[in-house]
Amino acid sequence: MVGQLLLPARTSTDLVVLGDEAVALGAIHAGVSVAYGYPGTPATEIIEYLLRYAELVGGSHVSWSANEKTAFEQALGASMAGRRALVTMKHVGLNVAADPFMNSALVSIDGGLVLAVADDPGMHSSQNEQDSRFYADFARVVCLEPANQTEAYEMTREAFDISERFHIPVMVRLATRLAHSRSAVRTGEMRDPNQETVEPDPSKWVLLPTYARRQWRSLQQAQAAIKAYTEKSDHNTLYLSETSRELGVITTGIARNYYLDNKNDLDIEPSHLHIGAYPVPMEKIRALMGHVRSLLVLEEGYPFVERQVRGVGQTIVAVSGKETGAIRPDGELTPDVVRNALGLPSSSGMRAPALSLPMRPPRLCQGCPHADAYSAIRSVLDQYENHLVTSDIGCYTLGILPPYSVGQSCVCMGASIGMAKGAVDTGKENVIAVIGDSTFLHSGTTALMDCVNENTNMTVVILDNEVVAMTGTQPTVLPSSRLRDLVLGIGVAEEHCVVVEAHPKNLKEMASTLRQEVDHLGLSVVISVRECIEAARKRKKQ
Amino acid sequence: MKYDIIVSGVGGQGVLSIAAIIAASALRQGLRVKQSEEHGMAQRGGAVIAHLRLADEPVFSSLIPRGRADMVLSLEPLESLRYVPQLHPEGMLLTASEPTVNIPDYPDLGDVLNAVQSLPHSHLVDAHELARAAGSARAVNMVMVGAASTFVPVGAEAIEAHILERYASKSEKVLRSNLKAFRAGRDAIGRHATV
């Protein structure tokens, strides 16, 4: 998002990039042919970098998709055609893409297929802290977890090779503090895209039970080789201390950074196993546990490794981590969280002045079209004693805050429409679902079909600002002008599909239209249109 | 040598560009750099922070530990105070003095500025006025880079060289006003420091 594109040369060079951009560079140098994704913090900048690269240099097909599932399926198709494919998303996006992801582990991957997924521990811009490593384990595939920009670059390159070697998709797992931090990367030589085009073998790509059983068995049989690979991998490094047999520390991904910055303040030299490649290297863990009396597990996300090393009834080595309360189970790791877990006190720092500082939460921009839509919705809601408004994922979630206070739920992409219908089905009246244009295209259309089917008595308000605003004004998959046709095509009655312009001068008209549609006993869709103010600003700058 | 800076402000003010300018200049001088940013929801008019770590030895974490920052560099006075506990006891706080009042419970500005001045090492910079005088009201962040340049271990020459490169594709006027804003910020602290 920030800064100009630093073009990777064909030969090795130093570049300062975001963790996300390092992944993009790794994919370019690995010879990627296609890349797909859906915008989502903190993963967005991977595709943004690749898009700028494709625009300047060409050579690969890069595009935003309607959602993470369609993105994954397109990458899978490219892999079937023998080409290397990258697909990117944020952690919750993998829930949407879980179906193709889980099943892609059973086909025999041809062109390397790499999934770069960015987790958001600390929920900087997300609704949960789910840990994607569980998905890799669930699918029984390899996961690489970089600790810095250089590893993000190298592991992405390597992920393509592993994918082609084991014929499985490979996950590269990032966390916010790597995705959105900058540092120098030394890049390697660029290699050309995979030229081979193969005729897919149906017995390896058609998951009919007969074939699927054989594919599943072969994935099980591959586990031994996969484990042997991670056991020997340079990304899993074991250091056994010669001076102390007291403490062992396991770090994964960026937790190593916080450990290394604090290690020199310890009186003893702990033994240390760093894990950057999964499945976990059990032999190395055994060697570590045989060497120490206590073990501290430092990992970003859930206690994924901690659970695997903690045997039931384990008494010889005391394991501590998130499950024991040595580290708080929620929120992200920080240098201080790790410091305290190592038994070191934090610096007290400068004393804050005795002035109470009010919070400054994010808010809708000055002149945002959503603000006008919310003002209109608010004035209509005030006319009813009972009402319910479900909201959705995007900038407009901020309308839940005063002065608008519109929206009583925000759960996952597209949930506003389905949840509104469920509430109506139990007898709720004056129900409004508020959803952004891109969120509607991502996951709202199928729920709207359910509403059309039963002519559910509710009003869907599509806030159409013509872009994916929250993640940096990416284009939506369909232009604004086609939104009404889509809604009509799904079967919403023409007289109850109304387009209004979101503008302060239109508030009265917007409110009366809304009031009319809320009073209509059946399904209505109101599309409130005006370009995102930030997108307009950017457009004028160009 | 290690120098840790917390850059703070309100979404849209240019916190990330300040961090990027100092980081790029430090690299030009051969220092190692780690920079942590916030994207997405945090950028919508809320409190924004970037961590910038400069060193001539390996630095691993992209986040600055509590009580270890050498400088808080802020585009907004209330936001500067939020990160005082991140400073080590001898740390320096530099902030633009003009408030961004986009919350209903913004404290009395006099109290905010007094709190800034009560710190052992702090400077209020009238960055908005200096930027306007330099010919671009949008160069507030460049004034603050200039103010910080008196203290950070990056030479003014390296920063000016970066500014020349950064605005090379823009008009002569934009380039000049940014250089002027940088020097005005630097002079503002120079005057304070000698008094």
* Mean of pLDDT values over A158-163: 98
Task: Label the pairing between strands A61-64 and A85-90.
Answer: unpaired
| pLDDT score of B42 | 60
Same-domain pairing of A197 and A305: no
Comparing CB atoms, the residue among B38, B61, B119 nearest residue A261 is B61
Sign of the CA dihedral with A418 first, then A421, A422, and A428 last: positive
B142, B159 Cβ separation under 8 angstroms: no
Q: Within 13 Å, how many C-alpha atoms sit on residue A269's CB side?
A: 6
B117 touches chain A (CB under 8 A): no
* Mean of pLDDT values over A11-19: 76
Q: Residues 6 or more apart from A213 whose CB is under 8 A from it?
A: none
Same-domain pairing of A19 and A115: yes
Query: Is residue A101's pLDDT more than 60?
Result: yes
Comparing CB atoms, the residue among B44, B62, B107 nearest residue A181 is B62
Scan for tokens 């996952």, then name that residue. A412
Q: Within 13 Å, how many C-alpha atoms sit on residue A474's CB side?
A: 27
User: Distance between the two ends of chain B, CA-based, in angstroms?
Assistant: 28
How far is the C-alpha of B9 from the C-alpha of A334, rounded, in Å? 21
A125, B41 Cβ separation under 8 angstroms: yes
Same-domain pairing of A135 and A247: no
Structural domain contains residue A351: no
Q: Residues 6 or more apart from B43 whose CB is under 8 A from it?
A: A362, B11, B12
Q: Percentage of residues in chain B with pLDDT exceeding 90?
A: 86
| pLDDT score of A509 | 97
* Mean of pLDDT values over A201-215: 96
Residue A4's closest chain B neighbor by CA? B166
For an interface test with B, give the residue of A20, A119, A181, A397 to mutate (most B CBs within 10 A). Answer: A181
B45, B12 Cβ separation under 8 angstroms: yes
The CATH number of whichever domain residue A420 belongs to comes to: 3.40.50.970
Q: Where are the beta strands (DSSP E) in A283-416?
A: 294-298, 318-320, 388-390
How far is the C-alpha of A9 from the C-alpha of A12, rounded, in Å? 7
**Residues of chain B neighbouring A44 (CB-CB closer than 8 A):** 39-40
**Residues of chain B neighbouring A366 (CB-CB closer than 8 A):** 45
Same-domain pairing of A386 and A298: no
In the DSSP assignment, the letter for residue A72 is H
Which of A198, A232, A266 is the last residue in one of the domains? A232
**Other beta carbons within 10 Å of B117:** 12
Query: Is residue A206's pLDDT more than 70?
Result: yes
**Model confidence band, residue A233 (pLDDT cutoffs 50, 70, 90):** very high
B108 touches chain A (CB under 8 A): no
B99 touches chain A (CB under 8 A): no
Query: Is residue A4's pLDDT more than 90?
Result: no
**Other beta carbons within 10 Å of A245:** 15
CA distances A157 to A182, A395, B130, Å, are: 19, 34, 48
Q: How close, in Å, is residue A352 to chain B by CA atoms?
A: 6
**Residues of chain B neighbouring A1 (CB-CB closer than 8 A):** 39
How far is the C-alpha of A119 from the C-alpha of A135, rounded, in Å? 12
Q: Percentage of residues in chain A with pLDDT exceeding 70?
A: 96
Phi first, then psi: what are they for B127, rounded to 5°?
Answer: -65, -35
Q: What is the pLDDT of residues A362-381, one digit of tens each?
A: 889 889 999 999 999 999 99
Query: Is residue A6's pLDDT more than 80?
Result: no
**Residues of chain B neighbouring A362 (CB-CB closer than 8 A):** 11, 41-46
Burial of A397 (0-12, 13-18, 19+ CB in 10 A): buried
Query: Is residue A8's pLDDT more than 70?
Result: no
**Residues of chain B neighbouring A398 (CB-CB closer than 8 A):** 44
DSSP A57-72: H--SEEEE-SSHHHHH
Average pLDDT, chain A: 94
Same-domain pairing of A173 and A265: no
A123, A91 Cβ separation under 8 angstroms: no
CB contact under 8 A, B84 and A258: no
Helix ranges (DSSP H) in B29-171? 77-82, 109-117, 127-134, 140-149, 156-166
How far is the C-alpha of A440 from the C-alpha of A198, rounded, in Å? 37
A320, A296 Cβ separation under 8 angstroms: yes
CB contact under 8 A, A360 and B16: no
CB contact under 8 A, A257 and B27: no
- A315, A318, A321, A325 alpha-carbon torsion, rounded to 10°: 80
H or E element, residue A160: helix A149-166
Structural domain contains residue A346: no
Task: Label the pairing between strands A271-275 and A459-464.
Answer: unpaired
In 3D space, the residue among B48, B99, B105 whose CA is nearest the CA of residue A402 turns out to be B105
* Mean of pLDDT values over B36-46: 76
Same-domain pairing of A405 and A499: yes
Same-domain pairing of A226 and A333: no
B121, B92 Cβ separation under 8 angstroms: yes
B44 touches chain A (CB under 8 A): yes
Q: Which domain, by its residues, includes B151?
A: 2-102+109-194
Same-domain pairing of A200 and A331: no
ipTM, two decimals, is: 0.92
Structural domain contains residue A355: no
For an interface test with A, give the residue of B18, B60, B100 to mutate (most A CBs within 10 A). Answer: B60
Structural domain contains residue A59: yes
Number of domains, chain A: 3
Scan for tokens 């922070």, then name that residue. B49
For an interface test with A, give the residue of B2, B4, B15, B39 to mutate (most A CBs within 10 A). Answer: B39
Query: Is residue A254's pLDDT more than 60?
Result: yes
**Other beta carbons within 10 Å of A420:** 27
| pLDDT score of B87 | 97
A305, A253 Cβ separation under 8 angstroms: no
Same-domain pairing of A114 and A183: yes
Query: Is residue B91's pLDDT more than 60?
Result: yes
Which of B:12-41 have CB within 8 Å of A?
A: 12, 16-17, 20, 23-24, 27, 32-41
Same-domain pairing of A221 and A249: no
Number of domains, chain B: 1
**Residues of chain B neighbouring A2 (CB-CB closer than 8 A):** 16-17, 20, 37
Scan for tokens 């800076």, then name that residue. B5
Q: Percentage of residues in chain A with pLDDT exceeding 90?
A: 87
| pLDDT score of B5 | 98
**Model confidence band, residue B32 (pLDDT cutoffs 50, 70, 90):** very high
Structural domain contains residue A347: no
Which of A193, A215, A232 is the last residue in one of the domains? A232
Q: How far is CA B87 from the centre of its chain?
A: 14
**Residues of chain A neighbouring B138 (CB-CB closer than 8 A):** none
Same-domain pairing of A211 and A138: yes
* Mean of pLDDT values over B129-157: 96
B107 touches chain A (CB under 8 A): yes
- A425, A426, A429, A435 alpha-carbon torsion, rounded to 10°: -60
**Residues of chain A neighbouring B106 (CB-CB closer than 8 A):** 358
CB contact under 8 A, A350 and B78: no
The CATH number of whichever domain residue B124 belongs to comes to: 3.40.920.10
Q: Which domain, by its residues, includes A415?
A: 369-541
Query: Is residue A230's pLDDT more than 60?
Result: yes
Weakest-pLDDT range from A320-329, A507-516, A532-541: A532-541
Which of A232, A257, A291 is the last residue in one of the domains? A232
Token readout for B182 is 């940088």
Q: Within 13 Å, how many C-alpha atoms sit on residue A331's CB side?
A: 9
Query: Is residue A120's pLDDT more than 70?
Result: yes
Average pLDDT, chain B: 93
Query: Is residue B41's pLDDT more than 80?
Result: no
Task: Label the pairing between strands B47-55 and B2-10.
Answer: antiparallel
CB contact under 8 A, B62 and A178: yes
* Mean of pLDDT values over A292-310: 96
A462, A370 Cβ separation under 8 angstroms: no
Task: Label the pairing between strands A85-90 and A34-37.
Answer: parallel
Same-domain pairing of A227 and A242: no
Query: Is residue A7's pLDDT more than 60?
Result: no
**Model confidence band, residue B63 (pLDDT cutoffs 50, 70, 90):** very high
| pLDDT score of A449 | 98
A2 touches chain B (CB under 8 A): yes
Structural domain contains residue A356: no
